[in-house]
Structure 1
Amino acid sequence: MNTLTYQMYHGYHIGTDQTLSARQLHQLRICFEKPALPAGEVLAGRQGATIAHLENMGSVAVKHYVRGGLIRHVNHCAYVNWPCTRGEKEFRWLATVRQLGLAAPRPLVFASTGRFVGQCWLVTAAIPRPYPLTQISQQQDDRRQAIYGLLAKQIETLIRQRIWHRDLHPGNVLVDENGTPHIIDFDKARYLNNRRLLAVRYRKRWTRAIAKYGLLTELEDVMKRATTAT
């Protein structure tokens, strides 16, 4: 990952590993001022990403971090910005897993408001024509099996590198127009040295989501493939 640079723009703390023009900063500000979109799919996360077009960056996905559960009624989108913001943490994790060869969104910019507490955003390159893995039943069997194989290898890499995603379920996997699965939402990730325990936690979270939302049972085979050698 290239060296990160930080700057202030109209009250937004903005970080990136590239130079941003005045036009790009203005476009980002407009994106940040839009309200977060509600999630539209089962297991699609707490909010939908806003798709926008930035000068010299093309199509991007703007993620506005919002809280879930009961706490959202008293604190909808404020986070503690220490030791780093939610957006910067996910930016760094995405850069890390991409260097390991995983298919994940390319991080472009992270931003926040406030010095110690505030709102957070992450901007990534948009995945071309994505659909969530929860909708894979609409695909032919041979295409589904190819996607499962690619995803299992990615999860196996996470386990081998001792990376715990913490919320990996079929809704946090987007498949692009070429059939490549992309793992998203790394903002809670951390390292876990015990690979056997890591495999157990991955299986538990994955299978619980499949059972709770009545997804294709064949999705369980993805995690079985990924954790068999662990």
Structure 2
Amino acid sequence: MIHSPYIVPPLPPAWPFEPGVPLHPLGCRLNLDLPGLGGGWRVCTPGGIVPSGDPVALSGVFGRGGIFRVGDLVLRPYRRGGLLRHLNEKTYRSHLRFAAEHAVHRGLWEAGFPTVEPLGYAWRPSGLGVEGVLITRMAEGEAWPRRWDLSIPRAEAIGRAIGSLCDWGLWSPDLNATNVMLPPDGGALFLDWDRARFEPPSESRSADLRTRYRARLERSLRKLGAPPEAFGII
């Protein structure tokens, strides 16, 4: 059987979330303006909707900057991290990386996983490649590192969500503490599925992913100076 890391597989038997209603198919429109980002964009969203209105920078968010709100939508320009950002901050080989993130994110949302609603992406030529923007629905909350003191139910929600990713076989290399958002009414929402992929099935896949997620989050928590109780959650 051919395995594709971006084709959403069937849910595992013990999936703890209630699947939601499937999203509408994407419609792509050419050569459009995006608020705060200029023109020339190919916008791929459900029904071809286009963000409109005045852009408002989101304060207090982690990341590489440039994230802003337009109405009830959030636009997050793609930016590279690590040492590569000093040479090439925002140009990618093709739009397929943005499409792959949306496919995985869409699968998570439709499966009922706690994440923000994905609304598509946009891209335009840039240098020898393209630059892109992720478009999601606005959700209220604050990043986990802004408030380490979690209630037991909220801590359990974070652990349950990460465990479900392992059982489903999804590896998200950018899953760190700054990508866990705490809504005001409890629970947790997980953000940023760039480079996330479904691993090939194997008997040890779930256990392997648990080990990798634990190591990934421990590095993130140490870097952020998290208190000891935060490490207990993972």
TM superposition score category, shorter chain reference: 0.7 to 0.9
Aligned counterpart for 1:180 among listed residues 172, 183, 187: 187
Aligned equivalents of 1:65, 1:175: Cα separation in 2 = 23
Counterpart check, 1:150 vs 2:157: yes
Note the 1:123-134 alignment, pairs <5 A: 123-128=135-140, 130-134=141-145
* Structure-2 change in CA distance of 1:144 and 1:48 (3 Å): farther
Q: How many residues align?
A: 200
Q: What do the CA deviations read for 1:108-140 (whole angstroms, capped 9, x no partner)?
A: 131000287111001111112x11111223x5x
Alignment match, 2:4: none
Distance (whole Å) between structure 1 residues aligned to residue 217 and residue 136 of structure 2: 25
Equivalent runs, 1:61-210 vs 2, <5 Å: 61-81=74-94, 84-86=96-98, 88-114=99-125, 117-128=129-140, 130-137=141-148, 139=149, 144-193=151-200, 194-210=205-221
Matched, 1:45 2:70: no
| Cross-structure match for 2:42 | 13
TM-score w.r.t. the length of structure 1 is: 0.78
Provide structure 1 residue ranges, at least 5 long, that are not aligned to the other structure: 54-58, 224-230
TM-score (norm 2): 0.76
More helix by share: 1
Q: Say if 1:220 and 1:169 are closer, same or farther in 2 by CA, change over 3 A.
A: same
Q: Distance in 2 between matches of 1:144 and 1:92?
A: 32
- Structure 2: unaligned runs, 5 residues or longer: 1-22, 33-39
Write the distance in 1 (CA, Å) between the matches of 2:228 and 2:142.
19
* Residues 11-35 of structure 1: CA deviation (Å, up to 9, x unaligned): 2111112242xxx45x27x75xx9x
